[in-house]
């Protein structure tokens, strides 16, 4: 059984996927989808909103960093699901207090559930490198 925050991440991933394929989606429909899927649990809705708005707001920065960490992969070459799992994970690593290894574990689980056969390995590799590079820039170790 998935935790509440894991469920919120699933819903955010679904919305980010839709953003990629249908950027003109109705914001009210998205809000209704989010609330319905999280059963109007306001703590989870707020958590999901924070993740969703953060990824959307910082998408250019996240994408630029991810391209550097995804050796020989452009964003366009990545599967839509993988790309958005990685964006979500990168955002959490950079902007939340969720520990990096927890973020990567959550992202790998999302990739297993929603991605292709190799998605979990790909997401793990890119986010692990991303976390390692980010910690090095901050003068920390993993």
Per-residue pLDDT band at 140 (split at 50, 70, 90): confident
87-112 pLDDT per residue, tens = 999 999 999 999 999 999 999 999 99
Average pLDDT score over the chain:
93
Provide the residue ranges of all domains of the chain, joining segments of one domain with +.
4-137
- Which of 126, 59, 45, 123 has the alpha carbon at shortest distance from 91? 59
Tokens representing 33 are 């989808």
| CATH class (in words) of the domain with range 4-137 | mainly alpha
């Amino acid at each position: 059984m998935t935790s509440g925050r894991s469920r919120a991440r699933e819903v955010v991933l679904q919305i980010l996927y839709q953003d990629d394929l249908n950027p003109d989606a109705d914001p009210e429909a998205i809000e209704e989808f989010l609330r319905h899927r999280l059963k109007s649990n306001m703590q989870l809705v707020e958590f999901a909103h924070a993740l969703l708005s953060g990824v959307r707001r910082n998408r250019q920065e996240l994408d630029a960093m991810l391209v550097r960490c995804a050796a020989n992969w452009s964003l366009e070459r990545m599967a839509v699901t993988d790309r958005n799992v990685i964006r979500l994970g990168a955002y959490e690593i950079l902007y939340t207090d969720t520990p990096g290894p927890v973020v990567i574990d959550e992202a790998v689980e999302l990739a297993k559930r929603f991605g292709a056969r190799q998605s979990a390995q790909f997401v793990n590799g890119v986010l692990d490198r991303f976390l390692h590079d980010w910690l090095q820039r901050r003068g920390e170790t993993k």
